[in-house]
Amino acid sequence: MRMILMREYDIQIPQRLVYDVLREIDPEGMAARLRGVCKRRIYRTNGPNHIWSSDGHDKLKCFGLTIYGFVNAWSRKILGMFVHVTNNNPRHIAVYFLQLASKAGGVPLLLTTRLWYQNC
C-alpha cells in the first residue's frame, strides 16, 4: 500500500501509519500477516527439468517493455528471459518455449504458468 502511494501519487507516508490504518480497516488480515500465517507453500519436484515455471512481468510496460521468464523449478536456475512489447500473446510465449526446449535439448514433463488471464 505504501509503495503504491509513493509510486502512483508521489505521497510519502511512514510505514507505521500505513500499518495502523490497515489494522483499523482489516484487523484480522493484519494480525494474520504479522503472525506470519501467510506462509509460502512447499514446492516439490522430482529432479532437474521435471517442472519449468514461467511467468510474465509487466512493471516496465509503461516504457513499452514486458518480460517473460522461465525457471527450472528444481534448481531455480533461470532458463530464459525474454523482452518484448507484449508478454500475453500465446504465440510469442510458444516461440520462447520452443527456443528454450531447443537450447535445453528437450522439454520438461510439466510447464506451470499462472491460471488467470495470462495467455488469453
DSSP, collapsed to helix, strand or coil, labels residue 108 as: coil
pLDDT tens, residue by residue, 44-96? 889 989 999 999 888 888 899 999 999 999 888 999 999 999 877 889 989 99
Maximum average pLDDT range among 2-16, 25-39, 71-85: 71-85
Task: Retrieve residue 82's grid coordinates.
Answer: 525474454
DSSP, collapsed to helix, strand or coil, labels residue 58 as: coil
Q: Do 68 and 87 form a contact (C-beta atoms < 8 A)?
A: yes
DSSP, collapsed to helix, strand or coil, labels residue 43 as: coil
Position 72 scores a pLDDT of: 93
Q: Do 42 and 97 form a contact (C-beta atoms < 8 A)?
A: no
* pTM of the full structure: 0.61
Give the Cα separation of 35 and 30 in Å (integer).
8
Q: 43 burial class (0-12, 13-18, 19+ CB within 10 angstroms)?
A: exposed
Position 31 scores a pLDDT of: 82
Position 120 scores a pLDDT of: 38
Task: Retrieve residue 43's grid coordinates.
Answer: 514446492
Task: Retrieve residue 80's grid coordinates.
Answer: 530464459
- Mean pLDDT computed over 15-28: 86
